[in-house]
Structure 1
């Protein structure tokens, strides 16, 4: 198995934003920099929503959120505005937010976008080459998914699956693509957690992930695009159908 080395070019040295891990703010401050209150409020509210602790359809007043987070209303208000920009909430009268429900139609559109962009990213990674650390991370994520399914630990499987996809996207070398995908991750993440125990055991997903890693390691961009596109299209259909069934 041959690992293609990365090329060092001016374009490759451009700013390459990373998709944040679950519950971490997309605008998280750099290490060593103390976050301001708005950043903290945004991160904590976002985490509560993504984890389902604040359910879809819930209305939360600024005063209630401020009390829950132990801070003033001003940073909470700023956090709610940022969450609205991500399409997670809507701002309602009386100075609060309503967590938007996860609809089947929304997920269909989101997965159409994610499928296209992530497939492109997979092709770029295979074409440009992947560094040893990133390739190792992909392989470790596949092993973690296999191990989780052996123990029927779906939560651990979901985390390993997310680690896999984030490593893949963050390795593509296209900052604008990474930023665009990030806009849709929050909503897709909520839907995936909501349907986690309603899906068939995701053994096929594990096989598809392993096949994608092999294609990337070989530098086969065409195969990488095809494998990942089929993987995401199948997952999108499954997720959309489940959301329609549960309303």
Structure 2
């Protein structure tokens, strides 16, 4: 196994979670707090928020709020309306098709990179901890906990692969899909197959089997994306 140190890498425990507050500038604090409220659906899809309103809510001036909104707009989560603040962008079934096309391609590339170089003991432990947490969450019928562990597994794959650009892009598209995943969580079949898929991917990476790792992961992501789009269509959720 590769013994390369990975202690400097980390994956946020949840979407929108940033570094400790005392390490953040005001624009960063505004960014993470607004983002958290969007991803947790406190700021619902299609809703408008005035710059002044956000500044009062966050107890800061409008300048850092404006900088945060620009950053969120660049990430595709909001659109800025001059003199009106921001609008939270909805995500449609068509958006999800495009998002999962990107996630499938880039995560599969990350898996190939990992399979080619191998996993350190620490990396293997991190991935298996996430899968074990998924198993435990399902045993407890805790789908929210399962979804957090599932997300942690996928983000670990891209964080550990060594390509920072892949990790940055994948994180952006996970953010865009987060609300859809969480709001359809109770509508989907019990995700036992996802846990099994993850174990198969890790085993193939550990074995250095690039083709098996790539094919397992691609099939897993294609199936996941198709299921989410079918749920949106089935329940008439044109956008979330």
* Fold similarity call, TM over 0.5: yes
Q: Aligned residue for 2:86?
A: 97
Residue 65 of structure 1 aligns to a residue in which SS?
helix
TM-score, structure 2 as length reference: 0.91
Deviation of the 1:17 alpha carbon: 7.8
CA RMSD, 1 decimal: 2.1
Any unmatched runs of 5+ in structure 1? none
**Is 1:154 matched with 2:151?**
no
Does the 8 Å CA contact 1:19/1:179 hold for their aligned counterparts?
Answer: no
Change (3 A) 1:73 1:7: closer
Deviation of the 1:18 alpha carbon: 6.2
1:54-73 equivalent positions in 2, closer than 5 A: 54-73=43-62
Does the 8 Å CA contact 2:96/2:225 hold for their aligned counterparts?
Answer: yes
Q: Deviations over 1:128-186 (max 9, x none)?
A: 11111111011111111111111110000001101111111111111222222222121
Does the 8 Å CA contact 1:17/1:175 hold for their aligned counterparts?
Answer: no
Deviates more, 1:168-177 or 1:107-116: 168-177
Could you tell me which of 121, 133, 143 is aligned with 1:132? 121
- Distance in structure 1 (CA, Å) of the matches to 2:178 and 2:13: 11
Q: Deviations over 1:103-143 (max 9, x none)?
A: 11011001001101101111111111111111101111111
Q: Aligned residue for 1:164?
A: 153
Residue 90 of structure 1 aligns to a residue in which SS?
strand
**Is 1:221 matched with 2:213?**
no
Deviation of the 1:33 alpha carbon: 6.7
- Distance in structure 2 (CA, Å) of the matches to 1:56 and 1:235: 22
Does the 8 Å CA contact 1:6/1:128 hold for their aligned counterparts?
Answer: no
1:1-247 equivalent positions in 2, closer than 5 A: 4-5=1-2, 20-24=12-16, 34-244=23-233, 245-247=236-238
Count of residue correspondences: 235
- Distance in structure 2 (CA, Å) of the matches to 1:226 and 1:58: 40
- Distance in structure 2 (CA, Å) of the matches to 1:82 and 1:234: 31
TM-score, structure 1 as length reference: 0.89
> Which structure is higher in RCO with an 8 Å CA cutoff and minimum separation 6?
1
Does the 8 Å CA contact 1:66/1:72 hold for their aligned counterparts?
Answer: yes
Does the 8 Å CA contact 2:77/2:88 hold for their aligned counterparts?
Answer: yes
Change (3 A) 1:200 1:97: same
Change (3 A) 1:57 1:153: same
Deviation of the 1:204 alpha carbon: 0.7
Does the 8 Å CA contact 1:19/1:178 hold for their aligned counterparts?
Answer: no
